[in-house]
Amino acid sequence: MKVLCVDHIGIAVKDLEESLKFYTEVLGLEVTGKEVVEEQKVKVAFLPCGDSELELLESTTSDGPIARFIEKNGEGIQHIALRVDNIEEALAELKEKGVRLIDEKPRYGAGGASIAFAHPKATKGVLLELSQRK
C-alpha cells in the first residue's frame, strides 16, 4: 500500500455555517464543495489547504456518528484521512496484517472518493480514514 499524503482532517462541528465563518473570514480559506452524505448522516464542507483539506462535518440527525462524537468529546478533530493510491489493496494489506477495520470494503465518501475507516483501537486512538480519489 502506498500512502500519498494527508488527504484531509475531519472536524466535527455543531453548526456548519457558523463554523465556516472562522475558516473563511478569519483564515481566508475557500469552500470548494458542500455535500450531504445521507449514509453517514452528515453535512460536510471542504476547504483546501495546499495538498490537503479541512473537512467540516455537521450531523444531520441527533443520533449520527458526528452527533455522538460531539456529545462525548465536544467539537474538534474527529478523524484524519490519508490518501492512498489503491484503497482495495490497502484494505487487503491491513487485513492481512491483522489491523482492526471498521470498513472491510470501501464505501462512498464525500466528493466522490472511496473511503474506509480503520478502528481507533488499531491506530493509537486515531479514527483513521483511508481515501482514494477518483
Question: What CA–CA distance (Å, rounded) separates 81 from 104?
Answer: 16
Told to check if 81 binds Zn ion by CB under 5 A, we report yes
Smallest distance, Å, CB 117 to Zn ion?
9
Three cell numbers written together for 74 = 465536544
Question: What CA–CA distance (Å, rounded) separates 40 from 127?
Answer: 15
Choices 17-25, 35-43, 74-82, 92-100 (CB under 5 A): range interacting with Zn ion:
74-82
Instruction: Report the sign of the C-alpha dihedral through residues 103, 115, 105, 13, in that order.
Output: positive
Closest chain position to Zn ion (CB):
10
Choices 28-36, 59-67, 76-84, 116-124 (CB under 5 A): range interacting with Zn ion:
76-84
Taking CB under 5 A as the criterion, the residue among 10, 84, 91, 128 binding Zn ion is: 10
The answer to whether 111 and 132 have CB atoms below 8 angstroms apart is: no
Binding residues (CB under 5 A) for Zn ion: these are 10, 55, 81, 129
